[in-house]
Amino acid sequence: MVCNERGMALVSVVLILTVLLSMAYIFTEKVWQSTRQGANAAIREQVFWAAQAGIEAARQQLAANYAGSGGWQTYLTVDTLQTYPAVPAWVTEVNGLAVEIYLRDNPDGDGDAGKDNDLKIFVLARARGLRGAEAMVESLCGFDISATAGYGPAAGSGGSQSHLSDEPVSIYGIAD
């Protein structure tokens, strides 16, 4: 009987070691998973803010190039009344990430996607990062007509009205 008891001690030690090693593996896997999730969240956040910065860069470029682009007509595609074109209008870089900028006219009642008549335009910024992270941010951008004295629908009935693209951009404000 003494022999059987020594064998049971060996089996007990092996079982305890197996349980302890299994628990160590599970805890290690949980730590790795948590670390990966944290890194992925940081990448997704970086990509989102890059797309947001792309919208702001697009606002600046649209404001600076309004007159030179014929009232954004060179940016707008005739075939894209309700959808964005397949090719971006331009690509900008934000913190090492490429941000694609897509433009389309908003439904302003004229039925012509190639011509803007209400000084508002949809801007879509798409940024891609590591591990397949992607963010798209859309904004309806344009000039604040109410802040533009003497031009467009906000103008009074008296006085002459000229086309907004003939005036310097500094006289009207940019708004969502």
Domain membership of residue 99 (yes or no) is yes
Alpha carbon distance 100, 136 (integer Å): 9
Tokens of 2: 């003494």
Percentages helix, strand, coil for the chain, rounded to the nearest 5? Answer: 45, 20, 35
**Do residues 99 and 166 both lie within one domain?**
yes
Which structural domain, as residue segments, surrounds residue 9?
A: 1-32
**Do residues 27 and 73 both lie within one domain?**
no
Q: At residue 150, what are phi and psi to the nearest 5 degrees?
A: 85, 10
More confident residue, 20 or 163: 20
Domain membership of residue 3 (yes or no) is yes
**Do residues 5 and 81 both lie within one domain?**
no
Tokens of 56: 């702001």
**Do residues 123 and 68 both lie within one domain?**
yes
Tokens of 52: 């947001």
Domain membership of residue 153 (yes or no) is yes
Name residue, tokens 């003497």: 150
Q: At residue 139, what are phi and psi to the nearest 5 degrees?
A: -145, 140
**Do residues 157 and 75 both lie within one domain?**
yes
Least-confidence region, from 9-23, 25-39, 63-77: 63-77
How many structural domains compose the chain?
2
What SS3 string covers 6-41? Answer: HHHHHHHHHHHHHHHHHHHHHHHHHHHHHHHHHHHH
Is the pLDDT confidence value at 171 over 50? no
Domain membership of residue 142 (yes or no) is yes
Express each pLDDT in 115-161 by its tens digit. Answer: 787 888 899 999 999 888 999 999 998 765 444 333 333 333 333 44
Domain membership of residue 150 (yes or no) is yes
Domain membership of residue 39 (yes or no) is no
**Do residues 171 and 98 both lie within one domain?**
yes
Express each pLDDT in 53-111 by its tens digit. Answer: 999 999 988 888 887 888 788 888 767 567 888 899 999 999 999 999 999 888 877 77
Domain membership of residue 58 (yes or no) is yes
pTM of the model: 0.67
Alpha carbon distance 46, 48 (integer Å): 5
Q: How far are the Cα atoms of 72, 103, 105, 165 from residue 54, in angstroms, in the given order?
A: 18, 12, 18, 24
Domain membership of residue 38 (yes or no) is no
**Do residues 166 and 91 both lie within one domain?**
yes
Q: How many other C-beta atoms can be found within 10 angstroms of the C-beta atom of residue 43?
A: 15
**Do residues 18 and 89 both lie within one domain?**
no
Alpha carbon distance 98, 72 (integer Å): 23
Tokens of 37: 């999730």
